[in-house]
Every structure is written in C-alpha cells, then in structure tokens.
C-alpha cells in the first residue's frame, strides 16, 4: 500500500478481493499510526465512505493492495477472478477535483477497470499481467521496481502487448 500518493504504476492482474468495512478502517488506523495519509481527514468512516482498498493478484501470486473510489466500485463492479487494470490518475481527462476535501481522497487513489470478466478466458490472452511503468509500458519487478530483463512491454494506453524495443 503506497504511503504517500497513489500507486504510480500500471497493474494488470486478477481482482482478488475488496476490503471489508472493518479491514478498511483498520488499514486507515494503521497508516495513520505510522504517520501516513496526514492530509486525509482523521475519520475512518469517511475513509471507507470515499475509498475502497482492493487486492490485485499478480502472475507470481503476490498481491498488491491499491485504493479506488467507492463510486468507481459501484460502476465497475469488479468481482474475484476478473482481469483488471489499475492506473494512477493521469492524462488530461483525469483532472483533480477542485474541492479540497475531495482532492485529499483523489490524491491517494487510482482507477481500477475491469478488462475481462472471470468467465471470459479468451479475453485474458490479449493482455500481459504484471506491473508496468506508465511512461513506456515496460514490465517491472513488484519488489525492486526495476525493469525485468524478460518482461513484457505493453502500450500504456491500450494495455495490449507490444514487441520489445518498440518505442511509444
């Protein structure tokens, strides 16, 4: 879980789970006790009302926890087993909110979108799962954040595989 700001890389993986209300409140309390998320209101109920912690499973069976907005959860409705994409806020179409209270939440979450529903296994073949740099789509290690020598390269916008060495 990022301690400051939203997770900065693209993630393509299997939606594992959403935190319960109790888990969400405990995460908030733990992060605040470690002096993280100081710009957020000191209210665990408001945290869960605004944000949903979710876990995304990677090909190496590691899972990453990220935050998404509750209103996006209601629209996307990710389910366990779905192939999803997490992206930090980027691009001219994802402008920060002007309301300072909403901006605090927006600054630490990202967007989780369903790419393929769990039952559509043919769809999964179109995508490479892993963690990718937003700038060039190079796959990076979930532990070191360094490029993987045999890693996939994706188009950061379409998320589709690209031949290695092909520039943006």
State the Cα–Cα distance between residues 154 and 47, nearest whole angstrom: 33
The residues near 99 (Cβ < 8 Å, ≥ 6 apart) are: none
Place of tokens 């590691």: 62
Say how many domains are in the chain.
Answer: 1
pLDDT reported for residue 166: 57
Asked if residue 167 belongs to a domain, the reply is no
CA-based R_g, the chain, Å: 16
Q: How much is the pTM?
A: 0.90
pLDDT reported for residue 7: 87
- Which residue positions in the chain have pLDDT lower than 70? 1-3, 91-93, 164-168
Asked if residue 43 belongs to a domain, the reply is yes
State the Cα–Cα distance between residues 97 and 104, nearest whole angstrom: 9
For 76, the domain range is 10-162
Asked if residue 1 belongs to a domain, the reply is no
Asked if residue 5 belongs to a domain, the reply is no
């Amino acid at each position: 879980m990022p301690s400051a700001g939203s997770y900065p890389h693209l993630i393509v993986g299997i939606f594992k789970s959403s935190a319960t209300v109790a888990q969400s409140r405990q995460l908030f309390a733990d992060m605040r006790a470690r002096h993280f998320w100081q710009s957020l209101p000191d209210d665990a109920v408001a945290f869960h009302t605004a944000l949903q912690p979710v876990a995304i499973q990677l090909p190496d069976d590691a899972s990453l926890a990220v935050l998404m907005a509750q209103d996006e959860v209601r629209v996307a409705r990710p389910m366990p087993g779905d192939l999803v994409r997490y992206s930090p806020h980027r691009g001219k179409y994802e402008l920060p909110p002007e309301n300072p209270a909403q901006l605090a939440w927006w600054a630490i979450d990202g967007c989780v979108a369903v790419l393929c529903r769990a039952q559509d296994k043919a769809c999964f073949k179109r995508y490479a799962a892993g963690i990718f740099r937003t700038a060039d789509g190079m796959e990076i290690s979930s532990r070191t954040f360094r490029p993987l020598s045999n890693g996939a390269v994706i188009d950061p916008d379409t998320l589709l595989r690209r031949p290695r060495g092909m520039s943006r």
